[in-house]
Amino acid sequence: MSTAAPRPADQDRLWSVDEHLADILAAVRPLEPIELQLPDAQGCVLVEDVTVPVSLPPFDNSSMDGYAVRVADVAGASEEFPAALDVVGDVAAGQQADLLYVGPGQAARIMTGAPLPSGAEAVVPVEWTDGGLGEGPVTGMRARSLAPEQASGHVRVYRPAEARAHVRAKGSDVKAGDRALDAGTVLGPPQIALLAAIGRGTVRVRPRPRVVVMSTGSELVQPGEELGSGQIYDSNSFALTAAARDAGAIAYRVGAVADDADTLRSTIEDQLVRADLVVTTGGVSVGAYDVVKEALEHVGDEDEAGSGIAFRKLAMQPGKPQGFGSIGPDHTPLLALPGNPVSSYVSFELFVRPAIRTLMGLDDVHRPTTRAKLTAEKALTSPKGRRQFLRATYADGAVSPVGGVGSHLIAALAHADSLIVVPEDAECVEPGTEVDVVLLG
């Protein structure tokens, strides 16, 4: 949750990208840990180390369908001179290991995952045997009762086996007392599988942040509806909702809000009940209908100490107008992004994604960056004093710009997997120059 209001905005000042981001991260705190069932913990971050309570696997077991044998009884076995053994019973997965004993000259049919019976030292795959049929090597196990007293007969083994062959040793995966997962681990499917395998039904995590995304503008129409004169489809709310989910959040998209300050304020207030973070897009510039700025610039008052939204101009392109602060009785963080699609998305990557990852309790909240050689037909130009972020494609240490610099060019954004970063003091970047690259994939 937000614990501090942003620094007051200076209407004439250009804030740097780093200053704005520092204000955001200083005001956002990780969510409080909760205990969750495993299916609900996917995507969440562990807040404590998890220790293995029981070895995995918890007993020696077979990795093949075949026969559990003593090594000496199959030494020297071949197709010409097979080892003939008495079958004393079947061992199935889930069966107790002490129901059978394999003595000299004996074997037990065993299934994959079944416990190795006492006396047995190795498993020979069924394909190395005649399967008890007396007709040469077989390709699979024939059906038979799982009751040991009803399983009898003989089996011929055509190959020798070394000690522990095809046996999964107790604790060969993890041993009791080992650390299974470290605090700070994001729980994906493999981690959920490990927790279940060691018997953990619940786990203590920081929950995934709930992010409410809404775009503003009376010109916006939902995809699938008919476009009227002067109208465009709302793409920002869909893009940012998807981006929030990609960052690890539970995201809720609100339909576009018309250019009315009272409507916007009431819509945001209605959404606070399910929001750990609110993201708006559009209406933060200096136009006559910049509704977000009109609705939220004076939202803080004496009844909500520490709340309020500051609107700023940043020394960056795209994404110069930005807003940040907190709103409501719980001081829910709110980030107000510009409305141009590319500006909105770049701003999300620079500011909103790190906020989401901070709420999750992660240490590394930023996209990875690298250095790459610029591949372009001509030099890149950039406004002096602005940090420019250009859509690009990256591969094998080289990066190429995609599309123009216009902040409305969604098609170019759809083909980009990175951002070229042109620093504030550079007005021209020649092809072949090494540049900083933010990797979006």
Q: For residue 232, what are the contacts with CB-CB under 8 A and spacing of at least 6?
A: 219, 220, 221
Helix, strand, coil percentages in the chain from 3-state DSSP, rounded to 5: 20, 30, 50
Candidates 330, 343, 420; CA nearest to 374 is 420
DSSP string, 131-184: TTSSSS--SSPPP--S-GGG---EEEE-S---TTTTEE-TTSSB-TTSEEE-TT
Q: Model confidence over 7-24: pLDDT tens digits?
A: 554 556 899 999 999 999
Q: For residue 195, what are the contacts with CB-CB under 8 A and spacing of at least 6?
A: 38, 41, 50, 180, 181, 187, 203
Q: Please report, rounded to a whole number, the percentage of residues in the chain having pLDDT higher than 90.
A: 74
Distance in angstroms between the alpha carbons of the first and the last residue of the chain: 28
pLDDT band, residue 255 (cuts 50/70/90): confident
89-98, 109-118, 134-143, 168-177: range with lowest mean pLDDT: 134-143
**What is the model's pLDDT at position 295?**
84
Q: Model confidence over 74-84: pLDDT tens digits?
A: 999 999 999 99
Q: Please report, rounded to a whole number, the percentage of residues in the chain having pLDDT higher than 70.
A: 89
**CA–CA distance, 256 with 264 (Å, rounded to integer):** 10
Q: Model confidence over 323-337: pLDDT tens digits?
A: 999 999 999 999 999
3-class state of residue 107 by DSSP: strand
The predicted model scores a pTM of 0.84
Eight-class DSSP state of 6 = P
Q: Please state the rounded mean pLDDT for residues 209-234.
A: 91
25-34, 41-50, 217-226: range with lowest mean pLDDT: 217-226
**What is the model's pLDDT at position 145?**
42
- For 202-300, where are the alpha helices, taking DSSP H only? 236-247, 261-271, 291-296
**What is the model's pLDDT at position 140?**
65
**CA–CA distance, 280 with 323 (Å, rounded to integer):** 9
Q: Model confidence over 383-428: pLDDT tens digits?
A: 999 999 999 999 999 999 997 665 456 788 889 999 999 999 999 9
Residue 90 has pLDDT above 70, yes or no: yes
Q: Please state the rounded mean pLDDT for residues 352-373.
A: 96
Q: Please state the rounded mean pLDDT for residues 43-53.
A: 96
**What is the model's pLDDT at position 154?**
92
Per mean pLDDT, which of 147-151, 224-228, 299-303 is the most reliable? 224-228
Give bridge partners of residue 280 from the DSSP assignment: 214, 336
Burial class from Cβ neighbours inside 10 Å (0-12, 13-18, 19+) for residue 424 reads middle
**What is the model's pLDDT at position 149?**
42
**What is the model's pLDDT at position 372?**
97
**CA–CA distance, 401 with 409 (Å, rounded to integer):** 13
Residue 92 has pLDDT above 70, yes or no: yes
CB-based burial, 404-417: b 16+ in 10 Å, e otherwise = ebebebbebbeebe
**What is the model's pLDDT at position 64?**
94
Q: What is the mean pLDDT of the chain?
A: 89
Residue 213 has pLDDT above 70, yes or no: yes
Give bridge partners of residue 196 from the DSSP assignment: none
166-180, 249-263, 275-289: range with lowest mean pLDDT: 275-289
Candidates 320, 212, 226; CA nearest to 276 is 212
**What is the model's pLDDT at position 221?**
87
Per mean pLDDT, which of 222-226, 325-329, 370-374 is the most reliable? 370-374
- Side chain identity, residue 109: R
**What is the model's pLDDT at position 426?**
94
**What is the model's pLDDT at position 146?**
42
pLDDT band, residue 139 (cuts 50/70/90): low
Residue 218 has pLDDT above 60, yes or no: yes
1-15, 26-40, 98-112, 296-310: range with lowest mean pLDDT: 1-15
